[in-house]
């Protein structure tokens, strides 16, 4: 796919996520996706496969939030099958605490699906606000 089409996949991912369209979000993830969260938090590590990603990372994180994370994209750069995004996220925990983090996502896109992602974020903030896995 072209770099413009790869960027479009990522734009669709954030747009769907921002409105809580989980079906579209999941549909943009390759069945065998490899998603890596950097650091040593309870939510760090590599999650291989869409089902494992949803059950071991996305589900536990989003269960702590009132309405997901609203992403604001600041910069997006594509090079071949790679798309790098600088983004800020705003959220509120179910207890009412702000969870506003900054991210750099590095995606690899193939055939219209996200096949690989690495997420860089403020791990100290995530550990302090989100704590450990339930």
What is the per-residue pLDDT across 61-104, written as a single tens digit (0 to 9) for each? 999 999 999 999 999 999 999 999 999 999 999 999 999 999 99
Place of tokens 């609203």: 70
Edge-to-edge strand list for the sheet holding 82-90 = 45-48, 29-37, 113-121, 101-110, 82-90, 70-79
Question: Into how many domains does the chain fold?
Answer: 1
What is the per-residue pLDDT across 15-47, written as a single tens digit (0 to 9) for each? 999 998 999 999 999 999 999 999 999 999 999
Structural domain harbouring 97: 3-130
What is the per-residue pLDDT across 108-126, written as a single tens digit (0 to 9) for each? 999 999 999 999 999 999 9
Q: What is the CATH number of the domain that holds 57?
A: 3.10.450.50
Structure tokens at 51: 């089902």
* pTM, two decimal places: 0.93
Ramachandran sector of residue 114 (left: φ over 0; alpha: ψ -120 to 50; beta: rest): beta
Q: Would you call 96 helix, strand, or coil by DSSP?
A: coil
Structure tokens at 125: 């903030």
Decide if 121 contacts 41 (C-beta within 8 A): no
């Amino acid at each position: 796919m072209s770099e413009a089409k790869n960027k479009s996949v990522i734009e669709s991912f954030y747009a769907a996520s921002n409105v809580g369209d989980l079906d579209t979000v999941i549909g943009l993830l390759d069945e065998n996706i490899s998603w890596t969260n950097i650091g040593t938090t309870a939510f760090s590590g590599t999650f291989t496969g869409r089902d494992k990603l949803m059950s071991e990372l996305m589900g536990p994180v989003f269960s702590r939030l009132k309405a997901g994370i609203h992403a604001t994209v600041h910069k997006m750069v594509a090079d071949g099958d790679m798309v790098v995004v600088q983004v800020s996220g705003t959220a509120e925990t179910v207890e009412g605490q702000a969870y506003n983090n900054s991210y750099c996502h590095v995606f690899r896109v193939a055939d219209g699906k996200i096949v690989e992602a690495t997420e860089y974020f403020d791990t100290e903030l995530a550990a302090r606000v989100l704590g450990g896995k339930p």
